Amino acid sequence: MFKTGYISVVGKPNAGKSTLVNQLVGFKVAITTPKPQTTRFNIKGIITTETSQMIFTDTPGIHKPKNKLGEYMMKGVANSINCVDVIIYMVDATKPRIDTTSEKIMEDMIATKSKVILAINKIDKVEKSKILTIMSEYNSYMESIGGKFCEIIPISIYKQDGLDVLVQNIEKYLPEGERIYSEDEITDISEKDIIEEIIREKALNNLEEEVPHGIIVEVEKFKKRKNIEKKSVYDIDVNIICEKTSHKAIIIGKEGAMLKKIGTEARREIEHMLEDKVNLKLWVKVRQNWQESDIYLNNIKNKMN
């Protein structure tokens, strides 16, 4: 009996959603940083075993939108939980307070017909007694609004603790069905999309708080060629678009040092992914209020569908 199904991973920013999907898939399909709102669109990670195909959707961290970009992100989350077989609700054990955001997440989940698994992450960072308290509090609130977790599973992605139990329980609730993707597929996003995300990740990790969330990365050229030694080389031209002239100066840095650092870190990872040499060129451009512009948001919006 082969099973196939869709699993959506939801939760607040920095709960470990992207890290979980990457760990389970065994490949970096989603970028990860310590900063909130790193994930902007729904990204699929696919696991195919002898008994099942699990199609995970990593979603943006749930937050109150402040612009059109935020609104698109939250619409993407809403869409992702309405048409799946299992929802993994990720909670950070170090920040477990049930606030209005947590309540809204649980209310939205019980409005669906999906099975909901509560995964309490980062259990290696708290006392065992606290984990039991978190489990009890979330279970009690879910029941108080007429819902139910089909499973509550403490995990530590960092320590790889409980992940096998999580996967076993996910598979248990999937319907019978044939494979949707081929056995060797691990994601539905393109190499170009991954490259854009890698560069944005390096910017997020290297720039000050207010700058990286106001950027978007666009690959203008992505071409493979043979060099004079008959070896493959990728020529990749990329625009880093920011909202303010002052941000452009920060991204470039003194004598271009910051842009060079972002480019160097990104190139190394892209070469590792493509398994070929990469000639990466970065340009920084200013587009004021792009987060409110449908022209610049269409690419992100399309990825959410």
**CATH number for the domain harbouring residue 86:** 3.40.50.300
Residue 219 placed within a domain: yes
Whether residues 33 and 159 fall in one domain: yes
Whether residues 77 and 218 fall in one domain: no
Q: What is the DSSP string of 2-39?
A: -EEEEEEEEESTTSSHHHHHHHHHTS--S---SSTT--
- Res. 262: pLDDT tops 60: yes
pLDDT for residue 287: 87
Could you tell me which of 38, 21, 22, 20 has the C-alpha nearest to residue 203?
Answer: 38
Each residue of 89-145: pLDDT tens digit? 999 999 999 998 889 889 988 988 899 999 999 999 999 999 999 999 999 999 999
Largest alpha-carbon pair distance within the chain?
Answer: 69
Q: Output 55 or 83, whichever has higher pLDDT.
A: 55
CATH number at residue 265: 3.30.300.20
The pLDDT > 90 percentage for the chain reads 57
Model confidence band, residue 62 (pLDDT cutoffs 50, 70, 90): low
Whether residues 164 and 232 fall in one domain: no
Predicted model pTM: 0.78
Give the mean pLDDT of the chain.
86
> 15 with 38: CB under 8 angstroms?
no
Whether residues 213 and 153 fall in one domain: no
- Kindly state the DSSP code that residue 73 receives in the 8-state scheme: H
Two tokens at 94? Answer: 């170090």
Residue 58 placed within a domain: yes
Residue 43 placed within a domain: yes
> 64 with 93: CB under 8 angstroms?
no
Model confidence band, residue 34 (pLDDT cutoffs 50, 70, 90): low
Each residue of 179-216: pLDDT tens digit? 999 998 998 888 898 899 899 889 988 987 667 677 88
Residue 178 placed within a domain: no
Domain coverage including residue 215: 191-304
Residue 163 placed within a domain: yes
Whether residues 250 and 211 fall in one domain: yes
Whether residues 207 and 247 fall in one domain: yes
Whether residues 50 and 145 fall in one domain: yes
Query: What total of structural domains would you count in the chain?
Result: 2
> 175 with 5: CB under 8 angstroms?
yes
- Res. 43: pLDDT tops 90: no
